[in-house]
Chains A and B, each alone.
Chain A
Amino acid sequence: MEQFLQVTISGLATGAIFAISAVGFALLWQTAGAVNFAHGEFIMVPAVLILALGTQEPTVGIPDFIPLIGGANIGVALPSAGLPWGLLIGFALTIPIAIFLLGYLFKVSLVDRLLQPGGDDIPLVIATIGLGLFLREYVHEAWFATPQPFPSVFGNGFWRPGGVAISADDIGIIVACTIVIGALQFFIKRTYLGRQMEAAAQNAETARVLGIPVNRMVLLTFAINAVLVTIAGLLVSPAINARWDAGINLGLLAFTAAIIGGFNQVRGALYGGFLVGVIQNWSGAYLSTLYRDAGPLLLLILVILVRPQGLFGRAEERRI
């Protein structure tokens, strides 16, 4: 029983990692129709930025080209009693950069040009695979090649109530992830701005007629996605370290969680993420550690075949 609780709790924590990674992916798909195969890299890049801006690690400084321009170390870490202030400052500095690079520039340069209303998604799929390759290899070549430790905002504390070990990071990430996704769900469903956004996503023509600034709403979606991936980078990296190739696995798990949960529902990503994390851990503990990744993948294939809108998604008519 203790082992079951132990495995389930840490499965939920891992699941929260997948959920927070998946939510941006689902959001873009749901509201902008953009399938982003570079999503894993979108999480990796802010994580690296946070580390570069927020700490004075000599190994993760700045990419190669910046020394040509100026300062050798732009880290602004404030050493403080146990609290990761540097990390939070790095986080705050990263958000505007992410909104510009991963939100605005991504939308303007790729999505707007490749995704036409009623058109095919394949060109954008191809281009984002290229984008993922570009970001990954760029960080690898210009920045650093070995995994770097990434401190947790929640510290390294842990408790062992009744023989079950729970770390502060686990609890922190589960709570933070639930709050973030809950807030996003509330924003989309309950606020005026959010409903405008959803309306623009569901039928751009009608929304335009109704006076909703469609283009601005879509841009808002991309900005929100950029903030989400930055939060994900902050929360996920303590578990997987800051590394250039983190995006591959993260991206795969994000797709899996988003599709299983239902990509047209933001909260689908939350349920999907938790489900994937728990299934992985259960199959690792009780079936075979060799095939702990196989459970979610089989579930993914099954969901696509039987219920493409996802376990928690709502069915929708797909226009041809």
Chain B
Amino acid sequence: MAESVNVPQSKAADGSDALDQPDFENRRDKIAIVDRGRLSPSLIALVSMLGAAVAVMPVGRAGFDGVIGLWFLSVLLLVGVNVAVPLDTRNGQMVRWISTATFVAFMMLFPIGKSGATMTDFGLFAIFGAVVVGMNLTQGFAGQVSLAPAAFLGIGSYTSVLLDMGEEVTVAGVTVDLPDLPFLATIPIAIVVCMLLSVLIGFPALRVRGPWLAFVTLAFSLLVFLVLNNEDGLTRGSRGIRVLRNDFEIFGIDMLPTHNFYYAGLFYLFFSLTVVWWIVRSPWGRALKAIRDNSGRASSLGVDVRNYTLLGFAVGSGLAGGAGALYARQVEYIEPRSYFVNQTIDFFLATVAGGLGTLAGPLIGGSLITLVADYLRFTGDWYRVWFGLFVMVMMVVAPEGLAGSFNRFRAWVQKRVDS
């Protein structure tokens, strides 16, 4: 931790930066500090405390409101705990594993004693959390803005639902008899379809530096919406498709109760976290970070900037596609409007607010657009105003997001303790 704190200092020591002009490279390095390529223990613990708090809460709507208050209390507690235990010691390692294990355990045990509506909310949290994990890989690690996660969510939903229904569809006058696949088989198909499509649009767009991928994905998501809305023979257009969970089983377990279906979303969230964790620790992840921090330097060191970035984008989109398959069963009704640009903006602010380039950030971000949004519903849409403001302030004050700010704060305290 100590060496990473020194980075901004050594930069400032150059004297090259004017005082009132914060150096941009410097800012980037700060993002790099928090990205240590592992599950940030403090934040995993934080989320597990959320689970703990919720687990002891009474059932029902009133209880759910109280949960968020406890959550913030637990944040304060954890700041204390984590500041007291230095990361790089044996104790620190232990804290990391214990907190990860608590997180998993609490998420697994959480549905006990909860009402169906609460579980609907947490199921959506798990699924959207997975989308944000994928988006965070594209944006936080590969350093590119994709504005198509909602479109990929939609492609995933429709791919999975159509292959699951096994009905005849008509596209451009050609009638195709689709196979009736089991639900679990459609998830990997949805992932692969989304990855292929993202390579197709990302490969040319990533030729030059700049926000081109953002524009291309924006145009792409509008086109996807048009196709979903207009290809009546394929998608039933604006009338949508009902995807009820009645008679829906996975491994013989009835998925109709939201308590059971929550686990499907939760496992997918764990899966995507594992994928990203593995990628970030691999040589590929290190290359990605090098590119994001300074693409010029990376390419001069022989890193194939374009291909690595593209893969980051493709995996992120694939994770969104797989989440789409689950999302369709979660809301039980799919229609093109759910996958419009508005949804992308939600994912986007979740990614940024949670923390770019961290693993725990997406969990916080995902809870912002599902749990916290549900809690704040009494404000009407005012919470969306705050979210917009929050994203702006965050980019200016703390571009590393909530998770990153927390890590930075810990580093700051540790430095004080050390000296």
Contacts and interface: CB of A to CB of B under 8 A. Distances in A.
B208 A308 contact: yes
Contacts of B391: 126-127, 129-130, 133-134
A137 interface: yes
Contacts of B226: 290-291, 293-294, 297
Contacts of A123: 27, 395, 399
Interface in B195-247: 201, 204-205, 208-212, 214-216, 218-220, 222-223, 226, 230
Interface in B362-419: 380-382, 384-385, 387-392, 394-396, 399
Contacts of B209: 318, 320
B75 interface: no
A133 B28 CA distance: 25
B24 interface: yes
B145 A126 contact: yes
B216 A141 contact: no
A132 interface: yes
B143 interface: yes
Interface stretch (A2-10, A114-122, A224-232): A114-122
A275 B388 CA distance: 33
B58 interface: no
Given A252-B222, A298-B223, A320-B296, A127 B381 contact: no
A284 B145 CA distance: 32
B145 A130 contact: no
A141 B223 contact: no
Contact of B204 (A109, A122, A129, A305): A305
A134 B388 contact: yes
A107 to B, nearest CB: 13
B351 to A, nearest CB: 9
Given A116-B24, A130-B388, A125 B211 contact: yes
A233 B212 CA distance: 27
Contacts of A126: 145, 348, 352, 391, 395
A300 B345 contact: no
Contacts of A318: 208-210
A172 B94 CA distance: 72
A45 interface: no
A271 interface: no
SS class of chain B's interface: helix, strand, loop or mixed?
helix
A114 B201 CA distance: 28
B28 to A, nearest CB: 8
Contacts, number: 133
Contacts of B145: 122, 125-126
A132 B344 CA distance: 13
Contacts of B163: none
Contacts of A130: 349, 352, 387-392, 394-395
A300 B215 contact: yes
A240 interface: no
A123 B400 CA distance: 11
A158 interface: no
A130 B143 CA distance: 18
A138 interface: yes
A135 to B, nearest CB: 7
Contacts of A37: 214
A131 B392 contact: yes
Contacts of A109: 396
Contact of B230 (A113, A124, A127, A290): A290
Contacts of A294: 223, 226
A292 to B, nearest CB: 9
A142 B385 CA distance: 10
B22 interface: yes
B215 A141 contact: no
Contacts of A133: 345, 349, 384, 387-388, 391
Contacts of B214: 37, 125
B392 A305 contact: no
A94 interface: no
A301 interface: yes
B169 interface: no
B294 to A, nearest CB: 10
Contacts of B21: 116
B24 A127 contact: no
Given A130-B392, A304-B212, A141 B341 contact: no
A300 B396 contact: no
Contacts of B27: 123
Contacts of B381: 137, 140-141
| 3 nearest CB pairs, A to B | A130-B391, A134-B388, A116-B24
Given A131-B392, A248-B342, A297-B226, 20 more contacts: A113-B22, A113-B396, A116-B21, A121-B211, A125-B214, A127-B395, A130-B389, A131-B388, A133-B345, A133-B388, A137-B385, A138-B385, A255-B215, A293-B222, A300-B219, A304-B205, A304-B216, A305-B216, A308-B208, A320-B209
18 contacts: A118-B24, A120-B24, A121-B210, A122-B211, A126-B391, A129-B349, A130-B349, A133-B345, A134-B385, A141-B380, A141-B382, A291-B230, A300-B215, A301-B219, A304-B215, A305-B204, A308-B208, A318-B209
